[in-house]
Structures are given as structure tokens and as C-alpha cells.
Chains A and B, each alone.
Chain A
Amino acid sequence: GQQVMQIPQYQHVQEGEDFTTYCNSSTTLSNIQWYKQRPGGHPVFLIQLVKSGEVKKQKRLTFQFGEAKKNSSLHITATQTTDVGTYFCAGRNTGFQKLVFGTGTRLLVSP
């Protein structure tokens, strides 16, 4: 079945450093979504990418969808302690409703 892997599993950075998580799907996706889950919380939708090669920005966050629509990345510039949490990508195959969540990347930011 479809698998969505993320690397790294865990990253610990100092406040102000940049952070990137990479998402790779075993199958071509119709779209990809990114979520953030704070410790003890539930996933919160961040963004959806649909087009091949698409790049979207939200303040310090930059999201990219690969040309082949099988991979994606989330880059955070100048991390802040409020960025702490686990970031999940979630992909959807063409014609299917369900989202397949990636393995997640847990980010810890030290002040």
C-alpha cells in the first residue's frame, strides 16, 4: 500500500536556526497537505499544495510540492519556540478520499 515517509524523525534546533522536513510518497499524489500537532494536541491544518512544483509561503514557513508530485518539503526560517511540535505531511492519491499521513517530524526548539 501507499507509504509516506518523513525525514528527519526528530530535530532539535536553537531558536533562530532554520528547519526543514522532507516528505516522500511511494505513489504519485493528487495533492499534499501539511499539519502541525502540538504536544498533547490534535493536528491543525497548515496548507494544501496541488500543482506540480508549487511553492507556497506562510510568513516564515515555505512549502514546496515536487515536480513529480511524490515529494514535498516544509522549511521554517528562523525558528521560534512556538514552532515546537510534530509536523505531518498527508497525501491523497488521485480518485481517493482518504489521506495517508506521513511518519511525522518532531521539532524541538531551544531558547
Chain B
Amino acid sequence: GAVVSQHPSWVICKSGTSVKIECRSLDFQATTMFWYRQFPKQSLMLMATSNEGSKATYEQGVEKDKFLINHASLTLSTLTVTSAHPEDSSFYICSAEGGSGGAGETQYFGPGTRLLVL
């Protein structure tokens, strides 16, 4: 149980285009999803917290107009990188948790999406 999928797993795009990444919880309802970014040989950096039916909460330094997050259902959240540039190339990982988000919740991670902007 507790499987999270992401699509696509790989994307290469030209500079200036927008890219949408989907994150789905396959066998549970995720009240909260998280979006992380990981640069090579670095740790995961939280970008935003997404609660179903409400606006995402972005971390300091993350541009909400550039990284659009939509969490329209309990099993799907999307991250759209708008007008992508080479510096946006990274490994984007989502995670999902169910329940009330209390101290005992485990986050289940998707397999990640590698974005390369040329």
C-alpha cells in the first residue's frame, strides 16, 4: 500500500516552455501533498505544501507564479513549471500523506521527475 506515482518520469523541454508534472496517490487519499526539488548531490528542499481544495503554501524563496501547484482532488496534485529556464533543471519529487497531518504521519514519496531545460 501507500504508492505514489509521478508523471512524467523524464522531461526535456526548450527554454521558455511550461512543464506540468502530476503526482498521484494510487491507493490512499492524500489530504496533503508536498513538492520537493533536489539538485545533484544535494538534499531535498521543500518547495511547497499542497492541501486539497486550498491554495498551496510556498516556502520562502519559491516563486508561486513560476511554480503553479494545483491539488484539485484527494489523489492528484500537479506542479507546473512556467516559462522554464535551464536553472530550473532539477529532480522534482512529490510526497503524499493521508490523515490529519499530525506528528505521526509518514510521507510516501513518488519516483520523481527529472526535468532538463535546454
Q: Does A58 touch B at the CB level, under 8 Å? A: no
Let me know if A78 is at the binding interface, CB within 8 A.
no
Q: Are B112 and A97 in contact (CB under 8 A)?
A: no
Evaluate contact between B93 and A97: CB separation under 8 angstroms: no
Which residues, 62 to 118 on B, are CB-close (under 8 Å) to A?
93, 97, 101, 103-112
CA distance A99 to B105 in the complex (A): 10
Contact A43–B93 (Cβ < 8 Å): yes
- Stretch from A11-19, A44-52, A60-68 forming part of the interface with B: A44-52
C-alpha gap A73/B101 in the complex (Å): 25
How many residue pairs link A and B with beta carbons under 8 A? The number is 52
Q: Which residues from 41 to 91 on chain A have a C-beta closer than 8 Å to any C-beta of chain B?
A: 41-45, 48, 50, 88
CB-based contact B107/A88 at 8 Å: no
Partner of B104 from the list A31, A43, A44 (CB cut-off 8 Å) is A31
Contact B34–A98 (Cβ < 8 Å): yes
- In the complex, chain B residues whose CB is within 8 Å of the CB of A104: 42-43
12 pairs, CB–CB < 8 Å, chain A vs chain B: A33-B107, A35-B109, A41-B111, A45-B106, A45-B107, A94-B103, A97-B32, A97-B49, A97-B101, A98-B34, A101-B43, A101-B46
Q: Given the complex, which residues of A lie within 8 Å of B49, measured CB to CB? A: 97-98
